[in-house]
Amino acid sequence: MEYFLAILMYLLIFLPPLLVMVDFLKFLITGKRLFNKNTEKALEIIETIVLLLMPVTFLALGDENENNCCGETAIFSPDHKLTIYVFIVICLIAYAISRSKKGILSPITEVLINSILLLGILFNIAIAIQIDIDIELSITGNLPIILLFTLQLINNQKQFIEYSENNSSNAGNSFEKLAWKVLNLKPIFKIPLLLVLCLPIMVLISSLLLLFGQKPDSIIRAFTDTYKQGFSQLDYLCANVDCGEHFLCSVAANGHKKIVKPIRYGERNGGKIICNRQLLIANAFEELIEQKFTKIHKVIRRNYNKVGNVIHRHYGVFNNKYFADLIFLLMKPVEFFFWLTLYTFDKRPEDRIARQYLAPSDRKSLHEKLKVEEPSKSPLHSI
């Protein structure tokens, strides 16, 4: 029974997209579709699955509601995703109208629908790049949608050419005459013009969305104001985030340079972080406690990890530079205590401070140069 359910699930996921691909390949080779009037209902079911059910399921399960450096993160910027969803709905409406129309609509409407269908193709390419799509998702995700939109554009072109051969333009105003001329163009000239027409359509939709709190550039920022996605421009905000281990001095090092005074970059768990004097002293202090008072260190670390978990859950607040400046200043008395302890119990405190958060190879080289005994266990902890 389990195997049967597994096979059924795979058929539901992979069969409709594969049928779309076969349909497209057959059209390219023979000029005829896999589906005809006798199988129209089957095509409608496939279109519903590919264009509606799969995208809705993917976005519902995969598109998070927040940017997160340390786990599943938003595909589209939480502040601008409404724009993306509206564009998706508009593209689907244009496809539905194009599929259901019995004849040729007015020239302006035909141009508008074709432009939106082309916009849908470009939109799906952008989404595929955004989510860094793999082969499996290509087969079940954006590729079949792009193929369906392409086939519909070709069908619209074919319908209009057949209509125009038997009917002359009786358009009344200049816009309708221009739209008729655009529709009569060969694809090599028609596609670039439709691409140009996509821009005012995007501007118009974006303008209407201003009423719902979106911004004029939300269509772009929906892709760029994200973490670790194809078009993401905010990855630098994760540079000093050690996932699951966000601690006070690590956060404080993210403040304004004039206040926190960063010294250099460091390496922690294979990632690059910003290091200032306070962070280096704090980590050197923990290293000293770990070596001299192992049991006490375990108790301190276990309780301090709870602080890190709180910061991790609310990192959006702690990531603010002014908040980081405040933490840096509040930690100053503690920093002085750490520094005093190091200079009291360590023979070479500055050497210990200097080697914090170095790459393993650099750390080893420095130990050999200074002839300092390496701790039995290189700490991966953070303050």
Give the model confidence (pLDDT) of 106-130 as tens digits: 889 999 999 999 999 999 999 988 8
Q: Which domain holds residue 39?
A: 2-224
Does residue 311 lie in a domain region? Answer: yes
pLDDT at 274: 78
Per-residue pLDDT for 136 more than 60?
A: no
CA dist., res. 222 & res. 63, Å (int): 12
Does residue 378 lie in a domain region? Answer: no
CB atoms within 10 A of CB 266: 21
Same structural domain for residues 66 and 140? yes
Q: Which helix (H) or strand (E) holds 183?
A: helix 174-184
Per-residue pLDDT for 246 more than 50?
A: no
Same structural domain for residues 118 and 158? yes
Does residue 381 lie in a domain region? Answer: no
Per-residue pLDDT for 374 more than 80?
A: no
Please name the residue that has the structure tokens 């200043």.
Answer: 329
Among 163, 189, 224, residue at a domain's last position: 224
Same structural domain for residues 174 and 134? yes
Among 195, 224, 253, residue at a domain's last position: 224
Does residue 308 lie in a domain region? Answer: yes
Please give the span between the terminal C-alpha atoms of the chain, in angstroms, as a whole number: 52
Structure tokens at 136: 């499996």
CA dist., res. 378 & res. 360, Å (int): 9
CA dist., res. 86 & res. 299, Å (int): 52
Among 191, 224, 257, residue at a domain's last position: 224
Same structural domain for residues 213 and 317? no
Number of structural domains in the chain: 2
Single pTM value for the model? 0.65
Does residue 229 lie in a domain region? Answer: no
Same structural domain for residues 197 and 341? no
- Which pLDDT band, with edges at 50, 70 and 90, does 376 fall under? very low
CA dist., res. 14 & res. 50, Å (int): 10
> How many CA atoms, within 13 angstroms, populate the side-chain half-sphere of residue 79?
12
Same structural domain for residues 148 and 215? yes
The mean pLDDT value of the chain amounts to: 81
CA dist., res. 157 & res. 177, Å (int): 17
pLDDT at 380: 43
Please name the residue that has the structure tokens 């001329």.
Answer: 181
Question: Helices 142-166 and 81-100, interaxial angle, to 10°?
Answer: 40
Q: What confidence tens digit (pLDDT) does each residue in 166-205 have?
A: 776 666 678 888 888 888 888 888 999 999 999 999 999 9
Does residue 6 lie in a domain region? Answer: yes
Q: How far is CA 33 from the centre of its chain?
A: 35
> How many CA atoms, within 13 angstroms, populate the side-chain half-sphere of residue 162?
8
Does residue 150 lie in a domain region? Answer: yes
